[in-house]
Amino acid sequence: MRQALLAVLLMVVMVLSACSNNSAPASHEEVQEKVQSFYNEMTKFDQMGKSSLDAFNTTLTSFSSGKATDKELEKAIDQFQDTASDIADEVKDVKISKSLPENIQKLLKDSMIAFQSAYSIKEQASKSAASPDVTADEFKDMNQQADVAMLYGISKLNEARVAAGLIEKGSAAEETLSGTDTSTAADTQANTDTKDKNTKSGSGTSVTDVK
């Protein structure tokens, strides 16, 4: 009798486990909705990052021209660090539905990891902005690494959008992405005088720039 009860209990556990691990496949419309929702989340974080970066760069430029004080620079650095850290944490917490096709799940996961890495690097770069132990070239390199990670995340996100049927392969979105030069993107918002410790500035590559 006890063995029979144990056998039944084991079967129940196995069934419940199977149910929890195998979500019903999402319909085509649901796949598109979930991928678009993920894209919207990443775009929201991107806008937050761009706003914070713009404020950070503005203060750095003012500081290098003597229009901002040490305290104002320190405040800008702290705010950018906090924002970058918060975004990295929030990106990590974005849920990827297990009902999505495995290939799309993997693309979104790779994208999420890349975005999280990009914002983590930007956080570290901001910490080094006023450090006497980090040269301007090293600071620039860190921001370019963040750009590369961001571009990789964008490429994986666009692959997921193609797989979900939201955009077409070879569309304007992908052409823009393939034509984006990370060094150019980094230089666009970097101060031209990389030898001056006071002229360090960040770089920015936007999810919304490659829609």
- Domain locations in the chain as residue ranges: 31-210
Q: How far apart are CA 146 and CA 157, in angstroms?
A: 16
What does pTM read for this prediction?
A: 0.71
- State the number of CA atoms in the 13 A half-sphere of 149 facing the CB: 19
Tokens of 33: 């909705």
The one-character DSSP state at 140 is: H
What is the full per-residue pLDDT of the chain (211 aa) written as tens digits? 444 433 433 343 344 444 444 557 889 999 999 999 999 999 999 899 889 889 988 998 998 899 999 899 889 888 888 898 899 889 888 999 999 999 999 999 999 999 999 989 988 887 787 677 888 788 889 989 999 999 999 999 999 999 999 998 877 655 443 333 333 333 333 433 433 444 454 444 444 444 3
Residue whose structure tokens are 């823009």: 176
Q: Is 115 left (phi over 0), alpha (psi -120 to 50) or beta?
A: alpha
Instruction: From residue 43, give the alpha-carbon distance in Å to each of 7, 39, 49, 131, 199.
Output: 50, 6, 10, 31, 29
Provide the sign of the torsion angle of the four alpha carbons 74, 77, 78, 79, taken in this order: positive
